[in-house]
């Protein structure tokens, strides 16, 4: 009987000292990226593909990777109707350079617009394993600043529309750009 009690006590002591693994599940929502959809300026209800769009964040040496399986400059280009880009979690604004027709041998066909998105941040605790995520809310009085590069050129982004002021997930469009 003593032997059984000793074994039982040993099992209880060793199993009670185990902890759950602190691994953040890959499906746990973390800091959301800004979702931008592109639309045709002449038919505003129709989405429009961008051609060789390269997006570079202020302070970045290279662009945002849209195609990790590509090599060289091609990994920074996208041709879709929608993109998701990260906002800075340590500042209240993020500036991006959007280059349409990047890499085109004819420089007159390359258009560059700069957009600075202004927002407030809220850090929200997710879990011990995942830590915090940052949620963003566009500045209601000045959500963005938009300019062409160089300033003497016409902006290729004709209209920027904030669709969702709160950026809490990546399942919805936050910004529509018409060109």
CA distance 63 to 98: 10
pLDDT (tens digit per residue) in 39-55: 999 999 999 999 999 99
Domain of 36?
26-178
| Residue 63 is assigned to a structural domain of this protein | yes
Q: What letters, b where the CB count within 10 A reaches 16 and e where it falls short, cover 119-155? A: bebeeeeeeeeeeebbbbebeeeebbeeeeeeeeeeb
Single pTM value for the model? 0.86
| Residue 141 is assigned to a structural domain of this protein | yes
In the predicted model, what is the mean pLDDT of the chain? 91
CA distance 154 to 133: 37
Q: Say if residue 177's pLDDT is above 70.
A: yes
- Find the distance separating the first CA and the last CA of the chain, reported in whole Å: 83
Distance of CA 78 to the CA centre of its chain: 14
| Tally of domains in the chain | 1
- Lowest average pLDDT, out of 12-16, 65-69, 79-83, 122-126, goes to 12-16
| Residue 15 is assigned to a structural domain of this protein | no
Q: Say if residue 9's pLDDT is above 80.
A: no
- With tokens 């931008």, the residue in question is 36
């Amino acid at each position: 009987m003593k032997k059984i009690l000793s074994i039982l006590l040993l099992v209880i002591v060793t199993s009670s000292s185990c902890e759950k693994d602190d691994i953040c599940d890959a499906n746990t929502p973390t800091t959301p990226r800004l979702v931008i959809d592109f639309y045709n300026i002449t038919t505003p209800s129709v989405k429009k593909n961008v051609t060789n769009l390269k997006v570079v964040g202020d302070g970045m040496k290279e662009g945002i990777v849209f195609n990790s399986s590509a090599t060289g400059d091609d990994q920074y280009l996208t041709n879709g109707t929608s993109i998701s880009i990260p906002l800075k979690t340590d500042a209240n604004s993020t500036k991006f350079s959007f280059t349409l027709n990047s890499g085109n041998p004819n420089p007159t066909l390359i258009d560059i617009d700069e957009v600075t998105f202004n927002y407030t941040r809220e850090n929200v605790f997710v879990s011990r394993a995942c830590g915090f995520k940052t949620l963003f809310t566009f500045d209601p009085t000045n959500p963005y600043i938009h300019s062409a590069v160089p300033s003497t050129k016409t902006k290729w982004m004709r209209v920027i529309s904030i669709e969702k002021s709160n950026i809490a997930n990546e399942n919805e469009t936050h910004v529509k750009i018409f060109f």
